[in-house]
Structure 1
Amino acid sequence: MSFSFFKPSRPKTPQELAKAIKDSLMALDTKTVAEVKALEKALEEVDKNIMAMRTMLSGDGEVEPNMDQVAQLTLEICNEDVISLFIHKLPILGWEARKNLVHSWSTLLKQKVDSVCCCVLYMENHLELLDFLVVCYDNKEIALNCGNVLRECIKFPTLAKYILESPSFELFFKFVELPNFDVASDAFSTFKDLLTKHPPAVSEFLTTHYNEFFEQYEKLLTSANYVTRRQSLKLLSEFLLEPPSSHIMKRYIAEVHHLKVMMTLLKDSSKNIQISAFHIFKVFVANPSKPREIKIILTKNREKLLSLLHDLSPGRGGEDDQFEEEKEMIIKEIERVSRLPNLN
């Protein structure tokens, strides 16, 4: 006869697990830093529950997740307002809990219940949570976790559109230049996703906020930080040259001020920045409907521009035929414009 004093605990149902997660997160409110032991115990309970959630959503490496349980857990997490707790409690969760939560977030957002992504719907009804996540870039302890959560949200057009239109979007112009390189790089990744993932929404945003946006963006293009200048220049060509933004591009390349910025970047000490600047500068020059003001600037700066362009090379250790062809075309166009009457 064998006796078992320790019966294995019965796995929680999705409903029980959602409630356990909620209760353990809410219990953190009752613990203060002074109660170190009690707080540690409460955080351990949160860790255990979030790990159980990750296992139910993704399996354990040996057993595949039960999709009925996944759907039920997702629904219960929304119904119990657990998502709000997830996000607001991020700053006090331990490293392991944050990692498991971020891992689970993508599955939760994509999971459909009766053909509805209920976690996306929850976020649409609690948009202030997106602002909270953006502001968390100011907290380097959780900035990378929040960045991961935000980028998963940005995959959905309604959530990306909200962030673009929110006052918190302006914070990215600060966050991409934070002194912590990892945080600044992560913020730039999120910033890039906001400006490239959903071109129609970006086009609409730029149409409405053209002046404010490009005034701020110019500060990135002329930043003292090399990485900021290079990344911003590359990103500009990505979202400016998208078909839905063609009217924005036409407006941009018709303004002398923006042309002067590109001409300055053509003189940058970095070969990479010179090349990236050229690919935007050439659009100003090749524009068949160049305004008179643009033609005047090109004419006045003809000698300097031609000298810069003649010395410009791809710098990849080999010839780039397409680059050379484009450069030759731009040189010829500058020479043609400078011969036009009544521009001097």
Structure 2
Amino acid sequence: MSFSFFKPSRPKTPSELVKAIRESLLALDTKTVVEVKALEKALEEVEKNFLAMRQMLSGDGEVEPNTENVSQFAIEICKEDVLGLFIHKLHVLGWEARKDLVHCWCILLKQTIGSGNCCVEYIESHLDLLDFLVLCYDNKDVALNCGNMVRECIKFPSLAKYILDSTSFELFFKYVELPNFDVASDAFATFRDLLTRHETAVSEFLTARYEEFFELYEKLLTSANYVTRRQSLKLLSEFLLELPSNSHIMKRYILEVRHLKVMMTLLKDSSKNIQISAFHIFKVFVANPNKPHEIIAILAKNHERLLMLLHNLSVGKGAEDEQFEEEKELIIKEIERVSRLPKIT
């Protein structure tokens, strides 16, 4: 004889689950900190719905997700404007709900339906959501969650280009030096992705905003914070010297005395790692066959100090050391050569 009085609940369809998520998120609007129990109950409902969403999108460990359900869920999420609610309600959610949300966000943005991607297209039509996400770096409670979400967005060229061209981009120059190390490191990871992931967008951005960008970037290179100086120098080398599409930016950069002076200062840094990283950019100034007179004059005037710094600079043992020493010898010879040139009045 069966004593089961209740049938197991039927799993929600994608449409039903999206509506349930939307209602539970909107319910947070009517709750205040004073109504602690009401707020706790509303958050519990959100967590329950988010868990169901996670299981629908990625399975439960035993059963794989139904691809049709995943696609339909992505469509409904956009149709009901829930994608925007995810971002605006993030700061209210508990730790577990935020973790589930970020996990699902990454899955949703990858969903290609037909020839398009409805979630990316939704964000393209609501670009203020990207600005809001970037601003969330100011809230240390959700900064790492938002950082993950932003990096997922900037995998797509159109979204990366928007952030680069927006006023929000300048905020990263502040965020990478926030006192919270974890948040600052996460912000730098996003900053790096923005400047390296999509070559064409980055090249167009640097071409259009060259002066403004490098004025701000110089402050990072000369920061009192060791980590900031080292990371910024390494990133500069990466997007300036390693991305072919930025060759015209590099050629312009190495013609300017102010940039050479920064590298010369970094060659004197107390950190050997920073000295070596600075050398790899400094050598491009020196090796340039078309050095302007101003650059030659600076090298000649400071040749004794530069030669002393270079003679004392070494990476250690191994194959890298051999190549480094060869490059260093060439740079030393070139500095010695320009120091013997007749002074130009």
Bucket of the pairwise TM-score, normalised by the shorter protein: over 0.9
Q: Is the 8 A contact 1:271 1:315 kept in 2?
A: no
Following TM superposition, by how much is the alpha carbon of 1:5 offset from its aligned partner in structure 2, in angstroms?
1.8
Following TM superposition, by how much is the alpha carbon of 1:319 offset from its aligned partner in structure 2, in angstroms?
6.6
Matched, 1:119 2:119: yes
Q: Is the 8 A contact 1:14 1:69 kept in 2?
A: yes
Q: Which residue of 1 aligns with 2:286?
A: 285
Following TM superposition, by how much is the alpha carbon of 1:113 offset from its aligned partner in structure 2, in angstroms?
1.4
Number of equivalences: 344
Q: Which residue of 1 aligns with 2:308?
A: 307
Task: Give the distance between the partners of 2:94 and 2:322, measured in 1 at CA.
Answer: 54
Task: Give the distance between the partners of 2:319 and 2:124, measured in 1 at CA.
Answer: 51
Task: Give the distance between the partners of 1:25 and 1:217, measured in 2 at CA.
Answer: 40
Task: Give the distance between the partners of 1:28 and 1:34, measured in 2 at CA.
Answer: 13
Q: Which residue of 2 aligns with 1:321?
A: 322
SS of alignment partner, residue 34 of structure 1 = coil
* Counterpart residue type for residue 226 of structure 1: Y
Following TM superposition, by how much is the alpha carbon of 1:115 offset from its aligned partner in structure 2, in angstroms?
2.2
Q: Is the 8 A contact 1:143 1:183 kept in 2?
A: yes
Following TM superposition, by how much is the alpha carbon of 1:343 offset from its aligned partner in structure 2, in angstroms?
3.8
SS of alignment partner, residue 89 of structure 2 = helix
CA deviations on 1:212-235 (whole Å, 9 max, x unpaired) are: 111110010000000000000000
* Counterpart residue type for residue 118 of structure 2: C
Following TM superposition, by how much is the alpha carbon of 1:317 offset from its aligned partner in structure 2, in angstroms?
7.5
Q: Which residue of 2 aligns with 1:27?
A: 27
Q: Which residue of 1 aligns with 2:78?
A: 78
Q: Is the 8 A contact 1:22 1:82 kept in 2?
A: yes
Q: Which residue of 2 aligns with 1:61?
A: 61
* Counterpart residue type for residue 101 of structure 1: L
Task: Give the distance between the partners of 2:76 and 2:344, measured in 1 at CA.
Answer: 70
Q: Which residue of 2 aligns with 1:36?
A: 36
Following TM superposition, by how much is the alpha carbon of 1:6 offset from its aligned partner in structure 2, in angstroms?
2.6
Task: Give the distance between the partners of 1:316 and 1:51, measured in 2 at CA.
Answer: 53
Q: Which residue of 2 aligns with 1:106?
A: 106
* Aligned-residue identity in percent: 78
Residue segments in structure 1 that go unaligned for 5+ positions in a row: none
Alignment map for 1:148-297 (pairs within 5 Å): 148-241=148-241, 242-297=243-298
Q: Which moved more, 1:2-11 or 1:86-95?
A: 2-11
Q: Which residue of 1 aligns with 2:131?
A: 131
* Counterpart residue type for residue 46 of structure 1: V
Normalising by structure 2, we get a TM-score of 0.98
Alignment map for 1:47-58 (pairs within 5 Å): 47-58=47-58
CA deviations on 1:233-252 (whole Å, 9 max, x unpaired) are: 00001111211111111110
Task: Give the distance between the partners of 1:273 and 1:106, measured in 2 at CA.
Answer: 35
Task: Give the distance between the partners of 1:32 and 1:61, measured in 2 at CA.
Answer: 36
CA deviations on 1:14-57 (whole Å, 9 max, x unpaired) are: 01011111111011111111111011000000001111111100
Question: Which consecutive aligned stretches of 4+ in structure 1 deviate over 4 angstroms post-superposition?
Answer: 316-319
Task: Give the distance between the partners of 2:319 and 2:239, measured in 1 at CA.
Answer: 29
- Say what the alpha-carbon RMSD is for the aligned residues: 1.1
Q: Which moved more, 1:40-49 or 1:107-116?
A: 107-116
Q: Is the 8 A contact 1:299 1:343 kept in 2?
A: no
Task: Give the distance between the partners of 2:344 and 2:329, measured in 1 at CA.
Answer: 22
* Counterpart residue type for residue 165 of structure 2: E
